[in-house]
Amino acid sequence: MKKVILGILVLVFGNVLNADDSNLEIIKKECEKGTSSLFCALYYSMKFEIEKPNIDKLEKECKKGNMDSCFELSFAYLSGSGVEKDKKKMNEYLNMCCQKDNLIACDFIAYVYEMEQNYSKAVEHYEANCNKGYVDSCFSLGGLYNDGNKITQDYKKANDYFSKACDGGEARGCFNLGVAYRDGKGVKQDTHKALKYFDIACNGEVAKGCTSVGGFYYMGKGVEKDYKKAFDNFKKACDLEDGSGCYFLSGLFARGEGVAANSTKALEYLDKACDLDYEDACLNKLKK
């Protein structure tokens, strides 16, 4: 699931998204669950490629107060499916939905402001939506404060929003809290808390969280050194397509740490790490 959304660039203005039709139902479920408004943009773009929307019917239903129809109309005007692309109408329908507490629509409005580089409006809308309990808005706002590329960097605010996201079940927020405690960004450095949040992230299928947990056990950082636990976590990270996890897993097979030495497996995971664009793995392959 995560690979689908990470593997496709969601371009708000311009390109219609393309993806394998077999993923359509998965993406639809993520949209309906409210995982991220970007899943909805992706879902409707894919859906409209298969079947053009009935604009007249959607408009009639929207006028009757059917917010699902209004929501679908907003993405029709976004992608130009069955109508001319019209950002103004897209925003009009999104705002109608947002005013009726469709938090997915509210989040997408904030995202549009961010893409338009209207960062003050993006922050305003992400914050309002976060306060209503939409955790992806909390995560996005935390990212803006953490990166400091678009607004003034503030690690404390970033961590506050990552904490809200994590508490709401957004595992990426937990991972970013782990990074904060590991590196002492906006909080006092705390290895045990870092491991705690990385572990939560790993259990939420954030691959880098698993790699981080594996690294703690391998190095004996804040915990007793345990190559078997390092192996298990690197293996999970690699299965989740993290190149660094595959690379470290390759090393364990090569050295026989936490697992029986196996040069064939070591090379297999080194190849996978390189295929996943982990540079050290590719450089290591050249030396062999």
Consecutive 10-residue runs of the chain (288 residues): their mean pLDDT?
36 39 77 84 84 93 95 92 92 96 95 94 98 96 97 98 97 98 97 98 97 98 96 98 97 98 97 95 79
Q: What is the pLDDT of residue 256?
A: 98
Give dist(CA 217, CA 224) in Å, integer.
Answer: 7
Q: Which of 87, 95, 80, 74 is nearest to 116 (CA)?
A: 87
* Vertex 285: Cα angle to 282 and 287 (nearest 5): 120
Interatomic CA distance for residues 31 and 37, integer angstroms:
7
Separation CA 174–CA 166 (nearest Å):
5
pLDDT at res. 273: 97
Domains in the chain, CATH or no CATH each: 1-116 (1.25.40), 229-287 (1.25.40.10)
Query: What is the predicted pLDDT for the residue at 288?
Result: 61
* Residue 155: count of CB within 10 angstroms of its CB: 18
Select from 148, 187, 144 the least CA-distant residue to 165.
144
Tell me the Cα Rg of the chain.
Answer: 22
pLDDT of residue 21: 56
Q: What is the pLDDT of residue 35?
A: 78
23 Cα distance to chain centroid: 17
* Predicted local confidence at residue 36, as pLDDT: 83
